[in-house]
Amino acid sequence: MRKKIVAGNWKMNGTLEEGQKLTSEIVNMVKDEVKGEVIIVLNPPYVHLQSVKKLIGDAGNIFLGAQNCSDKSAGAYTGEVSASMLASIGASYVIIGHSERREYFKEANEELTGKVKQALGNRLLPIFCCGEPLEIREKGNHVEYVTQQLTESLFGFSEGEMKKIVIAYEPIWAIGTGKTASSEQAQEMHAAIRKHLAGKFGKALASEISILYGGSCKPDNAEEIFSKPDVDGGLIGGASLKSRDFVDIIKSF
Ligand code: PEP
């Protein structure tokens, strides 16, 4: 059985106080309302990680994640944060290769391999993002584009390493736009991703990998998207900043 995961990506939002309020609300609502086996991951900005960790406390189904890590282990890289630092403060997951980092910080597939390597080497579970821009979707080349991202960044890993990687399919045209992919579009791509992984790592391993959908996922469309057989959860941006919306998305499973 693959893991069902709902991860909130707070991006660069919220003061310390706002982050604490949001976390406390989510923790309390999850305790009262969420039954079942969904894994919840909160990915606040670096500076809030420790305070969020403290507030998560012993909630066994809520985990801490970061939004990025360095592809280097340590040294003279001003402003960077290493995977070992994240692990040392209790992070379990790290988002790697979000489209905003690819676009604004020019993160390329090769560098992303280095980040995944650092994450795995420090026992963090990478949430590896992939997804196509609008012009590629309009040309009908979205499957080739996304599978190439996976090949270039992930196909050098062993089966044991690949097993630990979570994939997040996030069509760029759907991120923060309010324009979500239809559940059929999500299923088509998730099935294609799984088939591509099966071609390299085998069918059994591919069937164990959680593939999350991201892109304007909200309480009113989550249930339909999560109902598709190859969609194993969501990476949630805007709606993860509202405790009620985020918990309602979790409850869509
Ligand atoms: C994201 O940034 O990962 C994301 C999915 O954003 P949103 O939900 O706001 O589209």
pLDDT of residue 12: 98
9 lines ligand 1 (CB under 6 A): yes
**Is 90 exceeded by the pLDDT of residue 72?**
yes
| Probe target for ligand 1 pocket from 42, 94, 130, 170, with the most ligand atoms within 8 Å of CB | 170
Grade residue 36 by pLDDT with cuts at 50, 70 and 90: confident
How far apart are the CA of 98 and the centre of ligand 1, in A?
10
pLDDT of residue 185: 97
| Probe target for ligand 1 pocket from 217, 221, 240, 241, with the most ligand atoms within 8 Å of CB | 217
| 196 has catalytic annotation | no
**Is 90 exceeded by the pLDDT of residue 75?**
yes
Structural domain boundaries in the chain: 4-250
| 111 has catalytic annotation | no
The answer to whether the pTM exceeds 0.95 is yes
User: Which residue, judged by its Cα, is nearest atom 2 of ligand 1?
Assistant: 237
Grade residue 151 by pLDDT with cuts at 50, 70 and 90: very high
Average pLDDT over residues 163-187: 95
How far apart are the CA of 105 and the centre of ligand 1, in A?
17
> What is the distance between the alpha carbons of residues 127 and 242, in angstroms, rounded to a whole number?
22
> What is the distance between the alpha carbons of residues 178 and 210, in angstroms, rounded to a whole number?
24
170 lines ligand 1 (CB under 6 A): yes
| Higher per-residue confidence, 66 vs 180 | 66
> Do 3 and 210 form a contact (C-beta atoms < 8 A)?
yes
Grade residue 146 by pLDDT with cuts at 50, 70 and 90: very high
| Probe target for ligand 1 pocket from 134, 175, 177, 240, with the most ligand atoms within 8 Å of CB | 175
Min mean pLDDT across 57-66, 173-182, 216-225 is at 173-182
Q: Domain 4-250 is in which class?
A: alpha beta
**Is 90 exceeded by the pLDDT of residue 253?**
no
65 lines ligand 1 (CB under 6 A): no
Structure tokens at 19: 């982050």
pLDDT of residue 64: 98
